[in-house]
Amino acid sequence: MGVSRLIRPAETTLYRHFVILLSRRDSIASSSWQCIPHFDIIVRIRTLRKECDIVWGNRIEFTFHVPLFFLLSGYFLSTKVSFLPFMKQKARQLLVPYYVTGVVLLIVATVVNHFVWPEIDALNNAKSMLGALLYGSGAPHSEPFAIRQIGLLWFLWALFFSTGFTRLALKTKYPLLTVCLIAAAGWASSKVTWLPLSIQPGAMASFFMYLGFLARKHGILDKKPPLALVVALILLWIASVYFGVAINIVACFLSHGLLSIATSIAASYLVVLACKVAEQRLRTVSRFLNFFGQTTLIVMCFHAISDFCFPNLMLYSWLEPFGFPHTAVSVLILVLNVLWPLLGVFVSLRVPLLRKLFSVRPISPLPERKSAA
């Protein structure tokens, strides 16, 4: 179980911990813990509770999290630069980090597999990861052939294409109709075959990017929404979470068709409203988020490396024999996976080559609050 989890595509650390918990249940129950009455029932109840927590967390997350990123990207989309120079700039900002991070990921993962998991064929695994890097898919597929996912890095190609599609749509007479047709084409074609470089997720995402562009053009986020609208959106979100409404752009998946899209827009809008309230009332938190909001690309790239390369599961077998509780090791793994991207930000802001690679600009301070007047 542990070996397959390391070499399989990147997944969230929390999910990994859940899988290792399931894999360990039988071995735990067969040990001296069996002397505790009904221990197996207790383990099953605790496992079920953890599973429910993760399921509900995923239900909330998959109503909005990726569409929100594209909506915000559209909100800050610039149309001042002509199309070709603009796309060349985006290629440097997004695709250069994609390939540099991918090569680093490939090298580090091969070294980790060789020394930490000697039973793995590190060379074949490296070839598989190289294929994933070149194909640029964020989800595994079987058509037109077996495709391994590249993990978080898919977002960079999808953002590149969605930006290009949106800019092209803005040149047409009916941009909304154009992005709807592009998004529909991306969704429909994904049911037939899976194209490289996350072009289909990028096509789907262009719809959300255009909505973000419209939101800024018409000052939607600057207006105070009616209370009735906010309540209605909250009720829609709660109902959608309860009934499992989801959208997963990386796989061009809509669980409930247009309702999935409507829910993602509603939930994204509510999250933005909550952030505006936090900016006004929780300045310390806002400064923290403002800093990391401007270094998101660095955080994502370093997190992509840790997702593939950190021997998270090995820490259980290394530390638990010394008396470390399972929960303590899980917390340690979580801390390490948080500190690693933070270290990446710290180093990148101070190394000129990395600043250039990630197109890092000087961190803009959080705007001061407006006075009552």
Number of continuous H segments (helices) and E segments (strands) in the chain:
17, 2
Is residue 83 one of the residues assigned to a domain? yes
Residue 348: which of 336, 360, 338 has the closest Cα?
A: 360
Residue 186: which of 175, 171, 172, 197 has the closest Cα?
A: 197
Q: Do 125 and 261 fall within a single domain?
A: yes
Q: Do 46 and 76 fall within a single domain?
A: no
Sign of CA dihedral 133, 137, 140, 144: negative
| DSSP-based three-state secondary structure for 146 | coil
Q: Do 37 and 81 fall within a single domain?
A: no
Q: Do 45 and 83 fall within a single domain?
A: no
Q: Do 173 and 239 fall within a single domain?
A: yes
Is residue 321 one of the residues assigned to a domain? no
Is residue 301 one of the residues assigned to a domain? no
Q: Do 183 and 53 fall within a single domain?
A: no
Radius of gyration of the chain (CA): 22
**For 252, left (φ over 0), alpha (ψ -120 to 50), or beta?**
left
The kind and range of the H/E element at 24 are helix 13-29
How crowded is residue 362: how many other Cβ atoms within 10 Å of its Cβ?
8
How many domains is the chain built from? 2
| DSSP-based three-state secondary structure for 230 | helix
Q: Do 144 and 161 fall within a single domain?
A: yes
Q: Do 56 and 70 fall within a single domain?
A: no
Strand partners, 248: 253
Find where tokens 């599973």 sit: 51
Q: Do 80 and 32 fall within a single domain?
A: no
* Residue 30 structural domain: 1-61
Residue 137: which of 150, 156, 119 has the closest Cα?
A: 150
Is the CB of residue 197 less than 8 Å from the CB of residue 159?
Answer: no
Q: Do 56 and 154 fall within a single domain?
A: no
Instruction: From first to last of the 373 residues of the chain, give the pLDDT tens digit.
Output: 333 333 333 333 333 333 333 333 333 333 333 333 333 333 333 343 444 444 566 778 778 889 999 999 999 998 999 999 999 999 999 999 999 999 988 888 888 777 777 777 778 888 888 999 999 998 888 878 888 888 889 999 999 999 999 999 999 999 999 999 999 999 999 999 999 999 999 999 999 999 999 999 999 988 889 999 999 999 999 999 999 899 999 999 999 999 999 999 999 999 999 888 877 777 676 777 777 777 788 888 888 887 777 766 677 777 777 778 878 888 888 888 888 888 888 888 888 888 888 877 766 666 665 543 3
Q: Do 246 and 97 fall within a single domain?
A: yes
Is residue 356 one of the residues assigned to a domain? no
Query: 276, 301, 331: which is the final residue of a domain?
Result: 276
pTM: 0.78
